[in-house]
């Protein structure tokens, strides 16, 4: 009988590497490491600056606590406006991203249709929402409208890209089967394409709502509405205890948005009822619990 340790060693030597090394990969890794060192030297990154920053951060956080919630009316007004901006921008962005994503799918559309749609998606994804918000503030003035338009553009870029990729990954057999019946293009979309991408699209939409909630707290810094303007004004007044109150409220808003996104996914993907949303566990576990009873 052969030694088990020798057999294991022989099998380990015979097994191929998960990440096979090559001269090209080694060269790229070394070049990347050299560039990281070079970039750090050019950006004046040093341990002494990090230590100095930690001491400043300690004093800064010391002034933030305890948080001051006395101006709650101003705080809730900013949070409500941020929530409204996020919801409106998400709804408008989803509605506009659906046709753009469909037109960009190369397995359903000709090249002369897909290229303009993909160009629009690239343009929408080229700039950070804050940069786009600055442009819309110049165009439509200060206020929530600029924030809604900026986040709508961001939503079109994100959802349009992912929706296009999801459509291109559908099973073509189901599409051809519906086409073979002589069904029009709208029926092909309704019965062959959308059922295959519906669950993924719900995930895209809920993630974008969560992203817009976070970004809606930022665009206000440049005058595009939301609680970001209140936060920026508090920083300018060195009112750090109120800054802490705003930051805590933003965290609570994002957590509430995450709970809402989870509920939406369970309703549309898992077919959960309102009763099951407040029941511990998944819908399947809830059904098993009812069967046991």
Tens of pLDDT, residue by residue over 73-94, are 888 888 888 889 998 999 999 9
Let me know if 161 is exposed, middle or buried by CB neighbors in 10 A (0-12, 13-18, 19+). Answer: buried
Q: Which pLDDT does position 152 carry in this prediction?
A: 93
Instruction: Quote the CA–CA distance of 72 and 234 in Å, as a whole number.
Output: 13
Given the candidates 3.40.50.300, 1.10.3720.10, 3.40.50.11820, 1.20.1250.20, the CATH classification of the domain at 72-292 is 1.10.3720.10
DSSP annotation string for 204-241: HHHHHHHHHHHHHTTGGGGTSSSHHHHHHHHHHTT-HH
Where does the pLDDT of residue 115 fall: very low under 50, low under 70, confident under 90, or very high at 90 and above?
A: very high
DSSP state for residue 16 in the 8-state scheme:
P
Residue 292 pLDDT > 50, yes or no? no
Give the residue-averaged pLDDT of 91-108.
88
Residue 250 pLDDT > 60, yes or no? yes
Residue 13 pLDDT > 70, yes or no? no
Residue 69 host element (H or E): none
Higher pLDDT, 138 or 192: 138
Instruction: Quote the CA–CA distance of 64 and 244 in Å, as a whole number.
Output: 5
Where does the pLDDT of residue 151 fall: very low under 50, low under 70, confident under 90, or very high at 90 and above?
A: very high
Q: Which two tokens stand for residue 162?
A: 């992912």
Q: Which pLDDT does position 49 carry in this prediction?
A: 75
Domain ranges of the chain: 72-292
Give the residue-averaged pLDDT of 129-135.
90
**From 47-56, 99-108, 151-160, 234-243, the region with the lowest mean pLDDT:** 47-56
Tokens 């990729």 sit at which residue?
A: 165
Average pLDDT, the chain: 80
Instruction: Give the residue among 163, 39, 20, 40 at the shortest CA–CA distance from 96.
Output: 163
Virtual torsion, Cα 66, 67, 68, 74, nearest 10 deg = 180
Let me know if 204 is exposed, middle or buried by CB neighbors in 10 A (0-12, 13-18, 19+). Answer: buried
């Amino acid at each position: 009988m052969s030694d088990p340790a020798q057999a294991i060693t022989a099998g380990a030597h015979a097994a191929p590497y998960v990440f096979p090394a090559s001269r090209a990969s080694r060269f790229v890794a070394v070049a990347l490491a050299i560039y990281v060192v070079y970039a750090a030297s050019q950006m004046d990154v040093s341990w002494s600056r990090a230590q100095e920053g930690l001491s400043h951060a300690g004093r800064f956080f010391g002034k933030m606590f305890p948080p001051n919630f006395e101006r709650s009316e101003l705080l809730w007004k900013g949070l409500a406006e941020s929530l409204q901006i996020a919801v409106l921008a998400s709804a408008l962005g989803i509605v506009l991203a659906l046709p753009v994503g469909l037109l960009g799918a190369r397995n359903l559309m000709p090249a002369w249709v897909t290229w303009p749609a993909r160009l629009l998606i690239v343009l929408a994804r080229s700039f950070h929402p804050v940069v786009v918000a600055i442009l819309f503030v110049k165009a439509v003035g200060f206020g929530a409208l600029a924030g809604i338009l900026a986040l709508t553009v961001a939503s079109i870029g994100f959802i349009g890209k992912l929706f296009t990729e999801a459509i291109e990954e559908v099973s073509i057999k189901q599409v051809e089967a519906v086409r073979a019946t002589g069904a029009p293009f709208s029926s092909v979309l309704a019965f062959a394409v959308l059922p295959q991408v519906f669950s993924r699209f719900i995930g895209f939409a809920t993630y974008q709502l969560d992203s817009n909630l976070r970004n809606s707290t930022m665009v206000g810094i440049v005058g595009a509405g939301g609680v970001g303007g209140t936060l920026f004004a508090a920083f300018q007044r060195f009112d750090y205890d109120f800054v802490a109150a705003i930051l805590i409220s933003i965290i609570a808003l994002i957590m509430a948005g995450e709970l809402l996104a989870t509920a939406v996914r369970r309703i549309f993907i898992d077919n959960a009822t309102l009763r099951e949303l407040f029941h511990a566990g998944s819908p399947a576990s809830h059904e098993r619990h009812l069967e046991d009873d």
